[in-house]
Amino acid sequence: MPTNLPLPPESSLPDVLASIALLAALLAAWAITGRALKAKGDLSQQVARRWTANVRNALLLVAVVGLLMIWAPQLRTFALSLTAVAVAIVVATKELILCLSGSAFRTFTRAYSIGDIVEIGDNRGEVLDINLLSTRLRALDGREGSLRFSGNSVVVPHSLLFTQPARILAREGSPTRHGFALVFETKADLFSRLDEIRERAAAALRTGDGEADEPAVAIATTDLGRTRLEFEIATRPEDAGRLEQAIAVAVGGFVLALPPAQEA
């Protein structure tokens, strides 16, 4: 009497071998690309970092798509038999999906690239690295209008691109506005000396280590009655700290040496 014997389950060995071959090929491509970039001695650091990030992201995308195609039959069977689990997984990975979607949005719109100075929500800084899920920034300090780096870095998930505005403060290598203020408690009449203060600041920029346009200077008073000098210069982010210090030393020494207004 013939009997119906169950068919043996389809072996997953070909899929495993195909996955190993794909990953090995991508790792080889990554190693070859890294050696090629190191051999290019004429590339700047910013260009090398941009190429490294672009190649890495492309290889990761190829790896994800390739593995999905290799394992598609098994994934399809699993999804059909466990629909409820699949829905739960989608809900649980909502943030991951938003990050991947935000990465695609940034790529298609060319919102920013490595080396740009950007502001995403409350995060401001220079773009150091971009991957499929997040952007790493070299953070600026918290002062309004300042371009000085704080020494910290921050990782911004790409999901924020759908909920927070993204502003380009400066493209790579281009100057932008750097603002700062000096507050003095002095009896000298700084309002009548504003032109001299502006000349001292301009002279500090000309002798300072960096490049900047002529400074814009405004004067005001604080709630406590102190005199506030506000400066704004167009410079590169890497020069902002040095030039701010040069102006602070030059203008501070001039102001503190002024006699009180009633003795002038």
User: What's the pLDDT at 25?
Assistant: 92
How far lies 13's CA from each of 16, 22, 45, 73, in Å?
A: 5, 14, 43, 14
| Residue 121 is assigned to a structural domain of this protein | no
| Residue 9 is assigned to a structural domain of this protein | no
46, 74, 92 — which closes off a domain?
92
User: What's the pLDDT at 216?
Assistant: 80
| Residue 99 is assigned to a structural domain of this protein | no
Q: What single-letter amino acid sits at 220?
A: A
Q: What is the pLDDT of residues 226-241, one digit of tens each?
A: 888 888 888 877 778 8
What pTM value is reported for the model?
0.56
79 against 119, higher pLDDT:
119
| Residue 168 is assigned to a structural domain of this protein | no
| Residue 86 is assigned to a structural domain of this protein | yes
| Residue 214 is assigned to a structural domain of this protein | yes
Q: What is the pLDDT of residues 17-46, one digit of tens each?
A: 999 999 999 999 998 888 888 877 777 778
Distance CA 256, CA 119 (A): 36
Nearest CA-CA partner of 57 in 92, 21, 33, 37: 33
As for how many domains the chain has, the answer is 2
45: containing domain: 14-92
C-beta separation of 201 from 253 below 8 A: no
75, 92, 109 — which closes off a domain?
92
| Residue 27 is assigned to a structural domain of this protein | yes
CA angle 133–76–94, rounded 5-degree value: 30
| Residue 199 is assigned to a structural domain of this protein | yes
Q: What is the pLDDT of residues 177-229, one digit of tens each?
A: 888 888 888 888 888 888 888 888 888 888 766 566 678 888 887 777 788 88
259 against 118, higher pLDDT:
118
Which tokens go with 40? 């290019």
CA angle 75–76–82, rounded 5-degree value: 85
Task: Assign 61 a pLDDT band (cuts: 50, 70, 90).
Answer: very high
Within 8 A by CB and 6+ apart from 175, the residues are: 211, 212, 213, 234, 235, 236
222: CATH: 3.30.70.380
